[in-house]
Amino acid sequence: MVNSQLQKEISDAFKIDERIEKIPSAIPVCEVNPKVVKNGFAYVGTATNATSSIIVTTPTTGVFYITGLALTIIKDATATSTVTNISGIIDGQTKILISLPSITLTAQSISISISLIHPIKIDSGTNISVLNGTNVANITAKACIYGFLDEII
């Protein structure tokens, strides 16, 4: 954009009547910011028995923030040493985002959910996973994450 076009845009934007007022002779400076679009999301993953499952691989097209997590497990009395986690990569390190332990050799159905006041930024292009850590099991875990993706367009 040449200077005369920029002066015209300033004149139009601020309703300056150039017959009455003149735009100052200083060169107008304009800051160009990319447009950031926030896209909400919710992803669900399932892990059965002593397995891990990828809930989502974070996109590389923006900044991925988690604002809430939920985890539910259903297990029978054969499950031993059980703990179920949702984990993600933050600043290059694998971090447990939420954990749900259960009682050994006891049938259970339990849930936990949290909404975060401050979103958690997850590294781009990395996996968010749910893991059942157990020795012997009949266990199913459902994991849900939700939040938003800041995309620059």
Per-domain residue ranges of the chain: 1-32, 36-152
Does 30 or 137 have the greater pLDDT score? 137
pLDDT for 57 equals: 94
3-state secondary structure of 23: coil
Predicted model pTM? 0.73
pLDDT digits (tens, 9 = 90+) for 27-37: 555 555 567 77
The C-alpha atoms of residue 44 and residue 48 are separated, in whole angstroms, by: 14
Range of weakest confidence among 40-44, 65-69, 94-98: 40-44
pLDDT digits (tens, 9 = 90+) for 6-62: 667 767 766 777 677 666 555 555 555 567 778 888 889 888 888 889 999 999 988
Question: What are 5's two structure tokens?
Answer: 């076009």
The C-alpha atoms of residue 126 and residue 59 are separated, in whole angstroms, by: 8
- Domain 36-152 superfamily per CATH: Nucleoplasmin core domain (2.60.120.340)
User: How distant is the alpha carbon of residue 59 from its chain centre?
Assistant: 10
